[in-house]
């Protein structure tokens, strides 16, 4: 079985790992320089800042087993720090990657064949399978089977020639999220490591430096609310950063103002309207689609979707 997987986030790498473990020849593509997708981390002054999911719950023993099969005890650690405010299910703290969250997807990648910095611009069905083209319209190769493991709107763009799959995905909605990394000039002794606010601008603040291995001090990730992110979606990062920083300063009531480190827009951060089935698979054209948005809005949903996608493909091949 020869398979191309588009997307090196949790969903894509889960499919890749399961298929490779069952003898498939897998190639993974991602438009970014590395793995992780929305579980990404940025290097900063020799340490790390997690600017996607700051941590994640692991609810099922099967997800835990999968992670511990591929990750060392040092890479996957429990993190249950002081919390203020009421967390939603997907915001509940359980685990982090060490020294950064993207260490998890890096470990899952292992020895898989990976083509980073390669955005798949389109797919075309030829006599021998799927032809994949990059942004420059260069043909990257032909694969009998392809899995698209990217956020729903990006999957839709790749499914232009597949109306039957595109139609099913079309109702899925995803919401944006602006985030800013800030560093305080003094220690916030009264601030919980995870704070959730009932605020119009800021939803959640996570103390990045409180997580093992980040090698920085007093760095916080500030996550904007859905409505504020939607209202300011097309503004520049240069404009957004200072606004999030100012609101952070007010919320944490810090005497000294903070320093803004960087701002990032996640255009498709969270699932708003879920697909309601774990994956899509067209057994005639051998094209599959998976991702967190099939089942929910958290990392474990991405894993669950990828797991079931791979099971279906293995079943179809048997």
Q: Which residues bind ligand FAD (CB under 6 A)?
A: 6-12, 29-32, 37-39, 52-57, 90-91, 119-120, 149-151, 154, 177, 179, 223, 266, 269, 291-292, 298-299, 302
Quick check: 283 and 143 in contact, CB under 8 A?
no
Beta carbon of residue 108, minimum distance to ligand FAD (angstroms, whole number)? 11
Residue placing its CB nearer to ligand FAD in the complex, 188 or 292: 292
Quick check: 143 and 4 in contact, CB under 8 A?
yes
Beta carbon of residue 318, minimum distance to ligand FAD (angstroms, whole number)? 25
Residue placing its CB nearer to ligand FAD in the complex, 120 or 240: 120
Residue placing its CB nearer to ligand FAD in the complex, 149 or 188: 149
Q: Using alpha carbons only, what angle is made at residue 257 by residues 255 and 261, rounded to the nearest 5 degrees?
A: 145
Beta carbon of residue 305, minimum distance to ligand FAD (angstroms, whole number)? 7
Beta carbon of residue 255, minimum distance to ligand FAD (angstroms, whole number)? 28
Beta carbon of residue 188, minimum distance to ligand FAD (angstroms, whole number)? 20
Residue placing its CB nearer to ligand FAD in the complex, 91 or 193: 91
**Residue (of 2, 7, 1) closest to 306 by Cα position:** 7
Quick check: 104 and 48 in contact, CB under 8 A?
no
Give the DSSP letter of residue 222: E
Residue placing its CB nearer to ligand FAD in the complex, 47 or 52: 52
Position of tokens 């099967």?
A: 62
First and final CA of the chain: distance in angstroms?
Answer: 11
Sheet holding 120-126, edge to edge: 120-126, 129-134, 139-143
Beta carbon of residue 301, minimum distance to ligand FAD (angstroms, whole number)? 6
Instruction: Compute CA 8 distance to the chain's CA centroid, rounded to the nearest angstrom.
Output: 9
Residue placing its CB nearer to ligand FAD in the complex, 154 or 184: 154
Write the burial class of residue 255 (CB in 10 Å: 0-12 exposed, 13-18 middle, 19+ buried).
exposed
Residue placing its CB nearer to ligand FAD in the complex, 150 or 187: 150
Answer positive or negative: Cα dihedral of 284, 311, 306, 173: positive
Instruction: Name the token pair of 56.
Output: 């994640």
Beta carbon of residue 133, minimum distance to ligand FAD (angstroms, whole number)? 11
Instruction: Name the token pair of 90.
Output: 């997907």
């Amino acid at each position: 079985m020869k398979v191309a997987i588009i997307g090196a986030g949790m969903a894509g790498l889960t499919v890749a790992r399961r298929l490779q473990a069952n003898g498939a020849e897998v190639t993974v593509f991602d438009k970014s320089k590395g793995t992780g997708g929305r579980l990404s981390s940025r290097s900063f002054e020799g340490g790390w800042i997690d600017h996607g999911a700051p941590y994640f719950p692991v609810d099922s023993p099967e997800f835990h087993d999968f992670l511990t099969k591929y990750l060392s005890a040092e890479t996957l650690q429990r993190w249950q720090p002081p919390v203020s405010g009421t967390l939603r299910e997907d915001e509940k703290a359980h685990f982090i990657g060490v020294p950064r969250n993207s260490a998890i997807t890096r470990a899952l990648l292992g020895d898989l064949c990976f083509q980073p910095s390669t955005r798949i611009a389109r797919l075309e069905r030829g006599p021998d399978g799927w032809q994949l083209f990059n942004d420059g319209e260069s043909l990257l190769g032909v694969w009998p089977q392809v899995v698209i493991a990217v956020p729903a709107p990006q999957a839709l763009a790749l499914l232009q020639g597949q109306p039957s799959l595109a139609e099913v995905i079309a109702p899925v909605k995803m919401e944006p999220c602006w985030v800013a990394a800030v560093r305080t000039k003094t220690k916030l002794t009264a601030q919980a490591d995870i704070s959730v606010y009932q605020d119009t601008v800021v939803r959640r603040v996570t103390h990045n430096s409180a997580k093992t291995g980040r090698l920085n001090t007093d760095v916080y990730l500030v996550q904007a609310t859905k409505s504020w992110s939607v209202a300011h979606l097309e503004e520049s990062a240069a404009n957004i950063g200072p606004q999030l920083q100012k609101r952070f300063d007010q919320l944490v009531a810090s005497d000294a103002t903070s320093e803004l480190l960087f701002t990032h827009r996640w255009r498709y951060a969270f699932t708003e309207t879920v697909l309601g089935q774990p994956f899509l698979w067209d057994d005639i054209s051998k094209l599959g689609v998976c991702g967190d948005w099939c089942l929910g809005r958290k990392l474990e949903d991405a894993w669950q979707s990828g797991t079931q996608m791979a099971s279906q493909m293995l079943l179809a091949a048997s």
